[in-house]
Chains A and B, each alone.
Chain A
Amino acid sequence: MKRVQFEHSAVPYLFIAPQIIIIVIFFLWPAAQAIYQSFLLEDAFGLSSQFVWFRNYTDTIVSASWLQAAGFTIVFSTLVTFLSLAIALLLAVKANEVIRGASTYKTLLMWAYAIAPPVAGLMGNLMFNPLIGDLYQGMNALGFDFDHKLDPYDAGFVVVLISVWKQVSVNFIFFLSGLQGIPKGVQEAALMDCKSSFRRFWTITFPLLAPTTFFLMVINITYAFFETFGIIDTTTQGAPGGATTTLVFKVFQDGFRGADIGGSSAQSVVLMLMVLGLTVIQFRFIEKKVHY
């Protein structure tokens, strides 16, 4: 809050009104609808509906397909988060050390940020296409008996690979800016105390990057949960047999394809709670950082 402010009047309401109106109409109202619908069971024609308390929740959440999607989402987001963070951190540390060609490296490593996930998905899909895709043939030539249309692990490999590829650049940008934020004095002192660059990294640089890493973990988990929808929708579409269906993809599938509004809404509400959890963790942490 500012020490000096304008007097109380109707003016601030005019300034804040556009945003609030849009939020109420397109965020709060639909969210409330989703919660409300999650307690309703519609008949097959959508003509009448009945209040069924938590039945949609109990029905969906114990269903084999939801549990499968939840399991895949957990494994998938862990892999995507870990791999894209690890690759980006390695590249950022190296890009921070280098002097000659530094800006070229940076540009080449960060530009993929601008590519939309579904576009990356289609590119990957084409490269794994059995008719023309060298990656598909390459995997088979290596003796993997690779078929992402039939084998759940191969399909998982494809979506993880594309999702990691798409996310490395964002993480790289944040890690690099975190590294550049470490004061020169600290770096020089570290250089004097510790000859091994490997040890210097783990004992000094990495702890100093912890805030960035933690922040990026939350960002990456959110990415793996939500934004990878575009990648899955343009590669496996959740196949084979739901093996690469994430929770978000399932909400979309059940709601739009299956027209199961109640079940899809219940899943949405569960996702809302997950986002709430992630946000709470994030802000707990930020609070800590302020005290620190």
Chain B
Amino acid sequence: MFTINKKAKNLSIALMAIGLIALIFGFASNPHGAWPALLFNTYFYLGISVFAVFFVAMQYVSEAGWSIVLKRVPEAIMGALPAFSSIMLLIMVASIMHVNHIYHWLHEGIMTVGHAEYDYIIAGKEPYLNATFFIIRTIIYLLGWNYFAKKLRSLSLLEDREGGTAIHFKSVSTSAWFMVFFAVTSAMASWDWIMSIDAHWFSTLFGWYVFAEWAAIGFTSILLFTLYLQRQGYLKDVNESHIHDLGKWIFAFSLVWTYMWFSQFMLIWYANIPEEVAYFTARLEVENYKFLFWFSMIINFVLPVILLMSRDAKRHNSRLIFVSIIILIGHWLNSYLLVAPGTLNTHGHIGFTEIGIGLGFAGLLIHLTFKTLAKEQMEAKNHPMLDESKHLHT
């Protein structure tokens, strides 16, 4: 049974306190800049927590046995999903009520012919981009993800108590349904929440790009929690091979993310069509973002590739922790770049509000994950492939 270490508890509370101060400071000093800061941080941490659901579902669907001994870690990260979903919902409700100005296409009159704000390109997107449908979609995504998270978690706990393969196969089919649902909704959520900020622009691989980012930070978080718990003396069955496998995933998804990043960038750069290129000029020709744009690409791609390439590196805990932290920072900067240029243009900068909210959410994630972990036995029992996982050897 897991008990929260006093140091970790104090740390998470301190982080949450910083986050709260940053939130109050941000909204008091510059609400126009605080909303995008809140949005990109929520996007980042919601990604981590919803990816944990994906991870669990992926193991069931692919009948993978290796991960069973650390299964409770992603399941615990899932515990943070309701909180981050609520924050995301709050931001979206505030958006459609015109409390904030994150989404340009929600402006009054932008879709009314003859209005001073009328924009015929955005008006053409009205069937999809309208406040009612938008909020309904957001609710469907969030409710759906939370439903599947709860369902998978309760099936897993039921398996611990009752055993038998019937529950396992129920989990497999639930996971398969989640996969289908998530394939559609993760892409649509990325269009709604992030891509529609730059409403004129669109990219057909944006959904995969966002998914690859969520996967990279999701695997990284699972690894960091696993290593922490191991150091605290839990998860006795997790051996070097499990850590190696997680390292491979991080390495692979850093590459997938870069592949998506580059595919999107190069085609637009090469074709040089004004309506497409506007997205990158907003990033590359504004002093605030130019450095971050290349910098985030380097630390999300070059460093993980060099530092994690060899087999030994993926079995070396301190190296893995170092790279994981770099990846988390890199993708956090990249999430900032997804939101800030479209909302704040030349006024965006990373300050106390952005970093503070990021740290506060990290505290919230740690707090909720440990709270969920402490509720149940750390080791999964009765899973049909548990024994295989204990003997993993690669």
The answer to whether A and B interact is no
